[in-house]
Structure formats: C-alpha cells, structure tokens
C-alpha cells in the first residue's frame, strides 16, 4: 500500500543525495552528498563538479579545444601544452573528424582531463581531477554561505568517501557516514579506523530512487481514500445553521401571512 508509511530520516536524506548527483557534469561517476546536523536537519547539499565558474567536462568538446574555439571552457595548460594536445588529437580525434562525428551521433566529444594527464605521466594521480568531490563540495557550501555546526552530524553520500573527504568528515566531527556504493581505496582502514573520535562508516539500507517514490507516494490523499471506502462525509455546521435560519424565516413568513388573512374583514 504506497503512502501508508513515511520515509525514515535516513531514507529522506539519502534520497536527496541520490537526486542531487544528477547535477554533476562529471563524465566518469556522478556522486551526490548531503550533510546534516545531529537531528538530521540538512545543512548542505553537494555533488561532484568543477568549481563554480568553470565548465563541466560533460559540456566541453575536444574538437573545440583543438580548433581554439570556446577558449573560456579550457585551461591555459590544455590550450598551450603541445604534448597534451597531441595526445587528445591522436587518442580522440584520430585525424578523422567526419567518421568521429558519425559515431558520436550528436554527442559531445568530451574527455576526462585526469585520464589524459595521468596517461601522459604514467601515473594514477587523483590531484589532476577538475572536479570537487561531492562531499567536499557540500562541506565547502557551509563555509561559503555561512557556518553551521556539524559536530555529531551525519554525512550521506552515494559513494563512500575517498581518503581526502574522509579526513575532512573526521575533522568536522561527523558522527556517521552512510553510503550506497563503495569507492576504491583505503579510506576506512587508514582514516576512519584510526584515532579516538572515529566516524562510523555504514552501508545505507532503505528505499531509494524510483523505489522511494513507489513505496512512499500515495495514489491519492489518504483522507480521500477513507471517504471513498467508508462513504462518510463531515457535516457542514455552518450550512446547517444557515438552513435552520432559512427554515425559521420561512416559518415566520408563513405565520405572518396567516395572521394577515385572519385580520382581513369578512365580505
């Protein structure tokens, strides 16, 4: 019976994190995060994306980079580093732009800067990511728009935090971190399982996504459902009073009419 019960605090908050990830312009993995205080009052929402003012990777085109178009979307490094540009040309465009466009069928020829740079360096360096992590973004929103106490609060994220975000959650005094998908790394063993005030890392359990709506969204308002099943109707006291007054007025009119007839002289 959809709508018979309401979501838990954990489901309500994780659903918001799950929805907010769709704002991400990352072409690798979309992640959403929500930070609350100890009473599950939401203090900030974040998703992995480029800093405000920069164009997300999803909306950038490699062919524009090579042609020198839309320069505001690209960094000075991307525009001027020959080795990097050669890698983009050889790997993505392959000197066959017509065939590439046919395969794309209207899609952007986007690229991940981190992947390209790590390929050149023969390393796997997370520092080269253009995006803020979702948890990091949520934490920064609080600093940006006004401080909020988070000691003893909760972090909800669609992917478990990396080592860097785990340290920030630890520093902010987060009590428990709920996640849906595991993120590779050693954040739990290296960061979260060390020290005295350890945030607890918990796998989220509950309805999420379409299941959330299917379970918690009623087909019609519950009071209307009860009225339909039981056939009752609340009496309208005001209308009842008006009807009684109208009846009294009609009665008085009738009595007045009869009184006038009695007072008329007989013929």
Other beta carbons within 10 angstroms of residue 257's beta carbon come to 9
- Scan for tokens 């005094």, then name that residue: 173
**CA pair distance 14, 156, nearest whole angstrom:** 6
Q: For this structure, is 135 an active site residue?
A: yes
Which of 140-153 are b and which e, b meaning 16 or more Cβ less than 10 Å from the residue's Cβ?
A: bbbeeeeebebeeb
**CA pair distance 38, 174, nearest whole angstrom:** 9
Annotated active-site residue in 78, 135, 136, 188: 135
**CA pair distance 153, 199, nearest whole angstrom:** 10
Q: What is the SS3 assignment for 111?
A: coil
**CA pair distance 107, 104, nearest whole angstrom:** 5
Asked whether 27 and 55 are in contact (CB, 8 A), the reply is no
List, by residue number, the catalytic residues.
135
């Amino acid at each position: 019976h959809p709508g018979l019960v309401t979501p838990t605090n954990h489901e309500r908050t994780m659903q918001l994190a799950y929805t907010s990830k769709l704002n991400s312009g990352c072409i690798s993995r979309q992640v959403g995060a929500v930070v609350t205080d100890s009473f599950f009052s939401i203090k900030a929402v974040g998703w992995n994306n480029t800093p405000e003012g920069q164009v997300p990777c999803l909306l950038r085109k490699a062919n524009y980079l090579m042609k020198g178009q839309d320069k505001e979307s690209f960094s000075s490094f991307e525009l001027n580093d020959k080795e990097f540009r050669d890698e983009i040309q050889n790997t993505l465009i392959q000197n066959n732009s017509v065939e590439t466009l046919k395969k794309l069928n209207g899609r952007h020829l986007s690229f991940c800067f981190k992947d390209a740079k790590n390929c050149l360096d023969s390393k796997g360096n997370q520092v080269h990511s253009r995006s803020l992590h979702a948890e990091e973004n949520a934490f920064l929103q609080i600093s940006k728009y006004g401080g909020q106490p988070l000691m003893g609060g909760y972090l909800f994220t669609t992917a478990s935090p990396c080592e860097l975000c785990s340290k920030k959650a630890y520093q902010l005094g987060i009590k428990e971190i709920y996640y849906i998908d595991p993120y590779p790394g050693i954040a739990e063993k290296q960061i979260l399982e060390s020290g005295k005030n350890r945030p607890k890392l918990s796998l989220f359990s509950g309805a999420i996504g379409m299941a959330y709506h299917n379970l918690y969204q009623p087909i019609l308002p519950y009071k209307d459902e009860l009225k339909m099943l039981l056939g009752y109707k609340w009496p309208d006291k005001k209308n009842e009073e008006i009807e009684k007054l109208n009846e009294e007025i009609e009665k008085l009119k009738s009595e007045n009419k009869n009184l006038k007839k009695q007072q008329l002289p007989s013929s």
